[in-house]
Structures are given as C-alpha cells and as structure tokens.
Amino acid sequence: MIDKLQASTKYGLALHTTTPELGLAMGNFDGEIRCDVWNLERRVSSLLHQYLIEFIKPQTWADLAFIAVAKGPGGFTGTRIGVVTARTLGQQLDIPVFAISTLAAVVWSEKVKRSIEKDIFATTVAVQMPAQRGQVFGAIYQFTPDYSGLNILLPDTVFAPEIWQEKLVNWHTEYDLIEAKSDLAATVNSILELAYLDWCAGKRPNWSEASPYYGQHPVNI
C-alpha cells in the first residue's frame, strides 16, 4: 500500500521537456492530481518558469515534497532545460529530485491497460525510440506481478538498428514491443508516479544526483 505524502499536505511536481511540448503534473496521491501539456516548440526555455508559477497555484513552492523530471532520452536542449530547472528547484527548496527515464514513463503509461487485460499483454515490454544519425534508443522493462512497480531488465541504451534487432531476437522471455514517437510529454503523469514509487521506497536523491541521459553527443563528431 502506497503511503500518502505526509497526510496529503505535500505534493510532488513533475516536468517533461524532452520534446517541443511541455508537460507538467502535480499531485498529493490522495485524490488530487492534475497535469497539462502545452506545445511551446522553441519557447520552452523562455516560458517554462512562467508556466510553472501558474501551474502550481493554489499551492506554493513550500508545498512541494519532491521534484520529478524526465531525464531523457529526448531532444538535447529540452532535456537539459528540464533537468537544470529541476535541479535548481531541488537545491533552492532543499527537496529530493528524481530523474526518470523517458522510456520508462512510456512503458508505465501502459500500466492501466495491461493490468486490466492481463491475458492479452506480456508483462515484459521492450520500448524503442528513434535517435539521431539512424540509431535507436532501446530498453526493456518488466511490470511487477501486481503492476505496482517497474523493473529494469535492459537499461536505456543507444543502438545501431541491427544490434537492437539482434538483441530483441535473442531476448530470453516473451515481450511486447512498443515505440515512443510522439506525445511523450503526455506521459508526465507517469514521470510523477514513478518518482512517487521511489519516494515510497524511501529514496531521497539529492538534487545534485539528477543528470540528463542524452545517449548521443548532440553533434556528429
């Protein structure tokens, strides 16, 4: 049973900026949760703080127990902006910062569907996302038997397409393959939920531990 955030007086805040869309989510996990997505394109860096200030109302910064942020993979600039913002907030507020995989959030967003239709879906999920220069990001996750958590079987890695396909062909258990292409900011609620699972497990990562996952250098060198 997941404990409530300090008798519902504290909230978690999640940011998703790895694409041209901005996703924000906030909740106390006791019946109050809200999220929204805006297509800001190249204006994410200039508008993020404005949107944050408006989004957390009527709560204040003092009401936050932790920050969660999508750490990538994703766009280099957007990912960096999100992680830097989360780290800054965590440092200023002296609260934990959870850096959550973009790919893990995509898988977690399937939780409800898969927990209801267990006979149709495998509990192991391979997820892939296009990367730069013809490569692909890939990872493999597994839902716990009661769908209350997510285990990493193969961490987020950048592959040549043929290497990734070979990895899938030789994988030792049944799995479903999903592709992360668009609307990734809509999984910001999953970023928040995965961070909350870590929070309930007693994890309290310092803001300085939050790092982006790029997987590739932003330019071809």
User: What residues does each domain of the chain span?
Assistant: 11-101+183-209, 104-179
Using CA atoms, how far residue 171 sits from 125, 168, 176, in Å, is 11, 5, 11
Max Cα distance, the chain (Å): 51
Query: 11-101+183-209 and 104-179 share one CATH topology?
Result: yes
Q: Are 69 and 97 in contact (CB under 8 A)?
A: yes
Strands 150-159 and 11-16: unpaired
Q: What's the pLDDT tens digit per position in 10-28?
A: 999 999 999 999 999 999 9
**88 or 4, greater pLDDT:** 88
Question: What is the rounded distance in angstroms from the CA atom of residue 101 to the CA atom of residue 86?
Answer: 14
Judging by DSSP bridges, how do beta strands 33-39 and 21-27 pair with one another?
antiparallel
Span 104-179 CATH architecture: 2-Layer Sandwich (3.30)
pLDDT tens-digit series, residues 142-165: 999 999 999 999 999 999 999 999
Class for domain 11-101+183-209, per CATH?
alpha beta
Whether the bond between 58 and the residue before it is cis, its omega within 30 degrees of 0, is yes
